[in-house]
Amino acid sequence: MKSGDNREKREVRDVIFGTVAAVAALFGSEARLKIMQLLSQSPRSVEEIAKLTGESIANTSQHLQRLLAEGLVSVRKDKISRIYNLGSGSVSEFIECLFDLAEELSPGLREACSQLDKPGCTCPVGIKDAIELVRSGKARIIDLRPETESAYSPISGAINIPIEKLKTGASALPKNKKYYLVCRGRYCSGAGEGVKLLRALGYEAYKLRSSHSRINGEFPKRRNAK
């Protein structure tokens, strides 16, 4: 092999690693990571995102522009606003990977996570087993999100009872089943609250830990980011 050939491949490898590192860098900003995690739950307008992340609208918009240019998010126009969404399911899968790795690496992170959950909520079964239990009638999965979000990314086998409705109508649920609760993904405290509520009423309830993306497997189609 000629040495020129080697050098050429060397440069190709530089391009490859540069590109991949650039992708990783997109997740390396707290603001952008929050945006993407939010979008993995449901599509939202710039204003909504800004409100939920606590950033300014202009800054949020700028981050979204960049994510759009790189194909990580997509937009569609609504009447008056632009609704952003994740570009593909791979993105939220990747975010899950990232969270997994970070939790493994950082004891501090694990501790912070445990502060979001009430103790004793740790779920004894995984998501697949939970779905199986639902099939056999022994358990129910309850999706605590508002109807709009739940309708966007439905969880297979789950029934949607927004947290407010659960507060008033929980006692109508049958007692002879186990309850696995999900809310807005891994770092939402909603499911933990629901568990507390149901347990106070004598139910056997757990927080099901897994993101919607993994549970669901169905994603909006990728749009052309033009």
Partner DNA sequence: TGACTATTCAAGAATTCTATTGAATATTAG
Partner DNA sequence: CTAATATTCAATAGAATTCTTGAATAGTCA
- Site for a second copy, rule CB under 8 A: 1, 9-10, 12-30, 32-34, 37, 54, 70-72, 87-88, 90-91, 93-94, 97-102, 104-106, 108-109, 112-113, 115-116, 187, 189, 193
102 binds DNA (CB under 7 A): no
Q: 164 contacts which partner out of DNA, a second copy, none, CB within 5 to 8 A by kind?
A: none
Residue 93 CB-density burial (10 A; 0-12 exposed, 13-18 middle, 19+ buried) = middle
| CA within 13 Å, CB half, 219 | 22
For a second copy, give the closer residue by CB, 86 or 133: 86
Among 36, 37, 43, 63, binds DNA (CB under 7 A): 63
Q: Which span (51-59, 87-95, 108-116, 206-214) binds DNA, by CB under 7 A?
A: 51-59
45 binds DNA (CB under 7 A): yes
For a second copy, give the closer residue by CB, 131 or 144: 144
Among 20, 23, 24, 58, binds DNA (CB under 7 A): 58
- The pair phi, psi for residue 206, each rounded to 5°, is -140, 155
Beta carbons within 10 angstroms of residue 4's beta carbon: 8
Among 8, 19, 24, 59, binds DNA (CB under 7 A): 59
Q: Which span (44-52, 93-101, 114-122, 166-174) binds DNA, by CB under 7 A?
A: 44-52
Q: 117 contacts which partner out of a second copy, DNA, none, CB within 5 to 8 A by kind?
A: none
Could you give the C-alpha distances from 48 to 6, 45, 61, 82, in angstroms and in order?
A: 50, 5, 11, 11
Could you give the C-alpha distances from 23 to 14, 67, 129, in angstroms and in order?
A: 14, 10, 34
Could you give the C-alpha distances from 83 to 42, 49, 77, 78, 169, in angstroms and in order?
A: 10, 10, 6, 6, 33
106 binds DNA (CB under 7 A): no
Q: Which span (5-13, 49-57, 147-155, 181-189) binds DNA, by CB under 7 A?
A: 49-57
Binding site for DNA (CB under 7 A): 25, 28-32, 45-47, 55-59, 61-65, 75, 79-82
